Structures are given as C-alpha cells and as structure tokens.
Amino acid sequence: MTGSDLLRPNIVLVGVAALLPSLGVFAPSFSWVLAALAALLVAGLALATRARMPLPSPTVLLSLVLLLIWAAASLLWSPVPERAQGVIGNAILFLAGGLLLISVARTFDAENQRRFDIALIAGFLLALGLILSEIILGAPISRSIHGDERAGAYGLAFFNRSSSVLVLLTWPFVLVTYRRLGLAFAVGALVASLVVLAILNTAAPLLAILVSGAAVGLILIAPRLAAWAILAVTLVIIALSPVWSGLAPKIFDLLLANNVIEQGLNHRFVIWGFASEKLLEQPLFGWGLDASRAIPGGTQTIDILVNSNGDMSASEFLPLHPHNGFLQIWLELGLVGTILATVLVVALLKSILFDNPRPADRAFVGGTYVATFVLFQLSFGVWQSWWIGLLWLIAAITVAAANRNPESP
C-alpha cells in the first residue's frame, strides 16, 4: 500500500462500496447524499492529482444530455414549472456527478480493485447481518431512526426500500465474490441474498431478483439469444405504455378469475390505466416535467378491491407518480422524451450484452440491468432524488465490479 494509491480518485468508490449496503438498510432515502459526497470527493481528488479519466460512451452521453435538454424545454408547458425547475436542476447536478463516478470506476489498478472487491463483499455481508439482527430483535435501530409507526410486523416495513437496494447490489456482489473466492462462494453469496430478500418479502424486489436471476442463467447458457430477448422485451414494454388503458382491465379480470387479489397490484392497474389515457391526450410532447402530480383528475378517488371478501378501499387515480418509469417518461415528456430514453437504454444494452467479451461480466452486469429495469417499471418515481442518486451509485459500483484491468484475477 502506498500513499499514492490512497489519493487516487477511485479510492472513493472503495468507501462507497463499503458504506452503501448498510446505508441502504437504515437510510436508503439518503443515497443521494452519499452520491453527492462521493462525486465531490472524486472531483477534489481528480483536481489535486490531475488524474485523467475516460469519457463515457458518446451515445450514452449524448442521449442523457438531450433527454435533460428536452425535459428542461418541457418546463414551458409543465403545470408545475416552479417544482419542475428544482427537479431539472437536481437532475443536471446528478448527471455531472454520476458521469464522474462512472468515469472513475473505469480507472482501477489491481491494488485498488482488490480493495474495492473486499469492501463490497464485506459491506454487503454486513448489511445482510444487520437486517437479520434487526428482524430477530424487533428492529431496535430502525425504530430509533424512524419511529414505531412505520414498523409493521417484525419491523419489516422499514425495509421496503432496503430490499430494492439489496437487489441492485446483489449481482455486483456475486460477481466480485466469484472473481475473488470462486464459484462455490459466489453461489453461497447469492443464496444468502435470496434468503434475506425472501424474509423481507417485498413484492417488486422479489420479482426483480427472480427475473434477473433467470436472465443471468440465460445469458450464461445462450448469450446471443439472451441479448436479443432482453432487448426485445425492453422495447416491447416501453412500446406498451400507451395501451395500458386497454390492457389493465383485461389483466385485472384474468387475475380476479384466478382469485389473485392484492390491493397494491390492483391499484397499480388503475394508476397505469389512468396514466395511459392521459398520455394519449398529449402523446407527442407530454404534459411536462414532473406533471404527474398535477394531471387533471389524478387526485380523484376510486374504490379498489382489497381482498376476496369484497372489501374496498378508496385510492387516488394517480398519487404523485405512475409507479412505472417509462409510462411516467411518456406521460410527462411525450414520444420525444421516450425515444431519447429508449436510445439510452439500447446503448447501455449494446455495451452490456453485445460488446462485452467476458461471460461472467456480461451475465452479472446484465442481471443488474434486468433487476434495475423491473424496479424502474414497478416502484419509484423517475425524478425522486434518492432513486436517481442510488441508480448512479449502482451504475458506478457495477462498472467497477466488472473492471477489465488485466492485472485483476
């Protein structure tokens, strides 16, 4: 170990890898703080050491910049321009900081790569241990941070967002475990993560880890088929955004006929159907950035079926955001914004699945993409600061975990 190693900007990501899993357990909403601090530290070290960092893919960079320019232009017709100004300001700052983190993630030498791998393995295992201890002991730390009113059974409600953080970190964790400790330990690492996620039993993260696990297997067995299949499914899901108003009732009736009744899922169908109807009123340019919370009729309520006993609960047609990433982009930024976002996704998939020559990297990074896409389509608002910050951190950690340094094992 030398002093110069510890002054390299990429040492910041070693700290991020160690801290993010535990932060994800107790305070995932502060992911944006960690992202901001990490970007500032990287910038400071880069200036102090005059470090040179590689630029990201031109297609990825251009699509991100154009998407933000279009989002900023939509302030002209957004129904909430004052709030949207803050959203676009945050997004621009996150873009600058996130690109810096991605760039520095590609600069690891063998020694700092080893430190990063060890930090991620230790940090993730510590997070799993903390969650298990919280569940066994009744979540004393989480209760002291958040209060008792959010606890739920055994304190599990505290870990709804934590489950998402763990899912997104799982495949980078498995990748570095495989690289450092071999296949048996990697399988054990995956099983440990699956057990904890099953105990937490949060629907969207569970679906994300199962679907991404199937994707990882398919990528390992038939990489070319898997690449085209993941690309095709992604594009089909994006293209279906405007037709949810017709699909949602049919899917709901099918589930009801098979006695599958879940309040959250039923509400999702109502939200997606309403959002797609409103999308078709402004299909080209959208309603404007962050307009989801101000769509006419969104705060009106409808009775949602809660259980097989016929109990109903009043819920809003569109509470805050559609809980569907590309549906929100199309609703707010129209076809123009959706095309730019789709170009970004296709460029990412090309890099991950088509241009990556290393089977393990291709599979586990592909798994991270699939898990992210599932959560993006089912859970959070596109412009939530904690979510944007988390996605940039996950992207940087994933790039670092798949580092191509020839001196790495």
Burial class (CB in 10 A: 0-12, 13-18, 19+), 328: buried
Confidence of residue 32 (pLDDT cuts 50, 70, 90): very high
Q: Give the range of the structural domain holding residue 387, as residue numbers without chain letter.
A: 3-237+326-401
- Per-residue model confidence (pLDDT) at position 219: 97
Residue 14 has pLDDT above 80, yes or no: yes
Domain count, the chain: 1
Q: Could you read off the pLDDT of 368-386 as tens digits, one per residue?
A: 999 999 999 998 999 999 9
Average pLDDT estimate for 194-204: 88
Domain assignment of residue 321, yes or no? no
Instruction: Show the tokens assigned to 319.
Output: 């509470």
Domain assignment of residue 146, yes or no? yes
Q: Could you read off the pLDDT of 145-197 as tens digits, one per residue?
A: 777 666 555 456 678 889 999 999 999 999 999 999 999 999 999 999 999 98
Domain assignment of residue 266, yes or no? no
- Per-residue model confidence (pLDDT) at position 406: 44
Residue 45 has pLDDT above 50, yes or no: yes
Average pLDDT estimate for 236-259: 80
Kindly tell me the sign of the dihedral angle through the C-alpha atoms of 238, 295, 204, 310: negative
Confidence of residue 404 (pLDDT cuts 50, 70, 90): low
Domain assignment of residue 62, yes or no? yes
Domain assignment of residue 295, yes or no? no
Burial class (CB in 10 A: 0-12, 13-18, 19+), 202: buried
Confidence of residue 314 (pLDDT cuts 50, 70, 90): confident
Domain assignment of residue 264, yes or no? no
Instruction: Show the tokens assigned to 236.
Output: 């089909």
- Per-residue model confidence (pLDDT) at position 260: 65
**How many Å apart are CA 208 and CA 407, to the nearest integer?**
33
- Per-residue model confidence (pLDDT) at position 154: 47
In this structure, of 5-14, 166-175, 218-227, the range with the lowest mean pLDDT score is 5-14
Average pLDDT estimate for 264-279: 84
Instruction: Show the tokens assigned to 43.
Output: 């910038």
Residue 252 has pLDDT above 90, yes or no: no
- Per-residue model confidence (pLDDT) at position 96: 92
Domain assignment of residue 47, yes or no? yes
Q: Which comes out higher in pLDDT, residue 408 or 87?
A: 87
Is this structure's pTM higher than 0.85? yes
Q: Which of 24, 53, 6 is nearest to 167 (CA)?
A: 24
- Per-residue model confidence (pLDDT) at position 6: 61
Domain assignment of residue 242, yes or no? no
Strand partners, 316: 301
- Per-residue model confidence (pLDDT) at position 287: 95
Q: Which comes out higher in pLDDT, residue 30 or 304?
A: 30
Q: Which comes out higher in pLDDT, residue 266 or 179?
A: 179
**How many Å apart are CA 149 and CA 199, to the nearest integer?**
21
